[in-house]
Amino acid sequence: MVSKTGLIEIRWHGRGGMGAVTSAELLAKAAIDEGKYGQAFPAFGPERRGAPVVAFDRIDPEKPIRVRAEIREPDVVIVLDPTLLSVVNVTSGLKEGGVLLINTSKDFATIQKDFPGNWKLALVDASRIAREVLGVPIVNTTMLGALLKAVDVVKMESLVEPVKERFERLAEKNLNAMKRAFTETTVKE
């Protein structure tokens, strides 16, 4: 797990309908519930279901966040849909020593060959977990669990209430997917 003090900036890459925006919102809510400062926002253009979407989080444990611009040099990049890896330059601006978290069934050697860089790599087969636990390949809460394994940003317990509020009757399944992804995510420092 990577620990970082001060402001952390996260960029989420997904497709419309996959929950990247929801994940960013849940993470910001959990941070605020912990007494931190947090913001979440999407970058919208003519998006439609299935089109590439980007969402952002800024979390600071101590200071209010005044900046409202897109994050161009993130500390963490999260890729919800592995098909985006050949369509979007997901590592653009990723800070040296940052974290690249990918939903993939590929191994570390393959991903490192395709995405060499001076960052930490975290991998999880979130699509498989989501299909097995949720019954659908929507990986937003699954990737939140993976993020918590890769980066010390919020506590898992802090996501329980936001997930319950957002998913109501499906909350327990989403929490189980999140916990399973936490367990199954591998991080290579």
Segment 85-100, tens digit of pLDDT: 999 999 999 999 999 9
Polymer length of the chain: 189
* Residues 31-55: tens digit of each pLDDT: 999 999 999 999 866 556 678 899 9
pLDDT at 164: 96
pTM for this entry: 0.94
pLDDT at 47: 56
Taking each helix axis as running N to C, give the angle between helix 20-33 and helix 140-150, from 0 to 180 degrees, rounded to the nearest 10.
50
- Domains of the chain listed by start with CATH number: 8-188 (3.40.920.10)
**Degrees to nearest 5, angle at CA 183 with 181 and 189:** 95
pLDDT of 178 higher than 90: yes
Could you tell me which of 127, 67, 94, 111 has the C-alpha nearest to residue 11?
94
* Residues 1-36: tens digit of each pLDDT: 555 668 999 999 999 888 899 999 999 999 999 999
Mean pLDDT of the chain: 93
pLDDT at 1: 52
